[in-house]
């Protein structure tokens, strides 16, 4: 009779509640160590669902151990990081490699407490054969299953509240203002615009841009820097540009009934306001750096690149409008000229920004070399 396959029952805690709440180091191997970890986690937070996942892993381990004499089975707990993401999954992969090297198993049974932990199943599958996947769903008493309790617990979850509540609160606030000012149609467009920006940033994983913006503005206020005024100016320019763009979009849609053409009118009207909003904090940062004696190098290229991008978008919108409008308002030749000269101007502006940045950088390097040469000459003079 051939040798039996050695199986690993592995409990996955992707957000590292075991380490954060119970203060335990992972990976944890063995039944007794796993039982002790579940007990410590239960004492630290009795409501944590990872407790049930650990006990389920122990139950599966004992069932496999007693199902047939001589069955080879191991149990282990691995964790990620509280900041769930790439670093968390890398930590899980590292701990899993350590467990597999020590146990020498040939197959695994992952156990988790929810769908979030099961995102790392491909990580496990890439290292060892998976026989089964067990997801633990906790049974609650009737009062705990009430809608009020579920909503209450959901609002207390920092992951949910910090991600979804601010946009919802902002939408409700804007709706209230729109109804009070009798501008509901325009405000709906404004809400959809900013909601689209938020979803786009969220999808790209860049939602922290807005948080960093307001955090930098707050730090500028506390430190008394001039950049705070430019941050406020950027917000005002953004709001004015959006309102101007919405008005232009509304007028264009009423005349042409084309959503695409209306968006082009929106871009043409709002683009320079948006460019100003993007330049304001950048210029404020540059002014603060100059006042503090710091060197401004890379930001010159960024400043001119923003202006060049705005010029291309403006020229493109003018070109589309002139191509779409019927005669005599439409003029395809003039539209192509707008597009050509805007692209040419953008290239020239970008080149100027790069040259300025290169000149400042070379000047700094040259000055640094001169200082180093002078210092070396002084040292040689002192030694002689």
Where residue 107 falls (left for φ over 0; alpha for ψ -120 to 50; beta otherwise) is beta
Whole-number Å distance between alpha carbons of 33 and 74: 12
Q: What six digits make up the tokens of 183?
A: 């501008």
In eight-state DSSP terms, residue 82 is: S
What's the maximum distance between 2 C-alpha atoms anywhere in the chain? 92
E strand map for the chain = 7-13, 28-29, 73-79, 107-112, 129-130, 134-135
pLDDT for the residue 165:
72
pLDDT for the residue 344:
92
* Contacts of residue 251, Cβ cutoff 8 Å, sequence gap at least 6: 265
Closest by CA position to 198, among listed 166, 223, 227: 166
Tell me which residue has tokens 């320079």: 272
Tell me which residue has tokens 């807005």: 210
**Mean pLDDT in order along the chain per 10 residues (384 residues):** 72 85 87 90 84 89 78 87 80 88 86 68 85 72 50 65 70 70 63 69 63 62 66 83 80 66 83 88 78 70 86 88 75 85 90 82 75 74 68
Q: Per residue, what are the HEC states of 171-235?
A: HHHHHHHHHHHCCHHHHHHHHHHHHHHHHHHHHCCCCHHHHHHHHHHHHHHHHCCCHHHHHHHHH
12 by DSSP, 3-state: which? Answer: strand
β pairing state of 107-112 and 134-135: parallel
- 145: exposed, middle or buried (Cβ count in 10 Å: 0-12, 13-18, 19+): exposed
């Amino acid at each position: 009779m051939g040798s039996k396959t050695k199986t690993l029952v592995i409990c996955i805690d992707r957000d590292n509640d075991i380490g954060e709440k119970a203060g335990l180091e992972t990976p944890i191997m063995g039944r007794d160590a796993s039982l002790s970890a579940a007990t410590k986690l239960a004492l630290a937070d009795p409501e944590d669902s990872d407790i049930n996942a650990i006990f389920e892993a122990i139950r599966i381990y004992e069932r496999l151990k007693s199902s047939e004499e001589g069955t080879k089975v191991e149990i282990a707990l691995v964790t990620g990081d509280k900041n769930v993401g790439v670093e968390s999954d890398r930590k899980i992969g590292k701990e899993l490699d350590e467990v597999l090297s020590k146990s020498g198993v040939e197959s695994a049974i992952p156990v988790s407490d929810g769908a979030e932990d099961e995102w790392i199943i491909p990580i496990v599958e890439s290292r060892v054969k998976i026989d089964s996947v067990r997801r633990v769903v906790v049974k609650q008493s009737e009062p705990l299953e009430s809608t009020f309790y579920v909503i209450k617990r959901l609002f207390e979850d920092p992951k949910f509240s910090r991600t979804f509540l601010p946009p919802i609160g902002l939408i409700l606030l804007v709706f209230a203002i729109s109804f009070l000012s009798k501008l509901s149609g325009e405000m709906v467009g404004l809400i959809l615009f900013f909601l689209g920006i938020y979803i786009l940033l969220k999808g790209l994983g860049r939602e922290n841009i807005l948080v960093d913006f307001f955090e930098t503005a707050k730090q500028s206020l506390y430190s008394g820097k001039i950049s705070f005024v430019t941050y406020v100016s950027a917000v005002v320019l953004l709001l004015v540009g959006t309102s101007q763009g919405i008005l232009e979009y509304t007028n264009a849609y009423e005349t042409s009934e084309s959503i695409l053409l209306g968006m082009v009118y929106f871009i043409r009207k709002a683009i320079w306001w948006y460019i100003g909003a993007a330049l304001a904090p950048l210029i404020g940062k540059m002014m603060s750096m100059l006042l503090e004696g710091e060197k401004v190098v890379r930001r010159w290229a960024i400043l001119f690149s923003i202006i060049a991008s705005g010029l291309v978008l403006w020229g493109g919108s003018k070109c589309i409008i002139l191509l779409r409008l019927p005669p005599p308002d439409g003029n395809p030749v003039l539209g192509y000229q707008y597009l050509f000269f805007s692209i040419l101007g953008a290239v020239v502006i970008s080149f100027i920004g790069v040259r300025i940045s290169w000149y400042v950088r070379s000047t700094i390097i040259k000055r640094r070399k001169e200082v180093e040469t002078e210092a070396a000459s002084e040292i040689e003079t002192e030694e002689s």
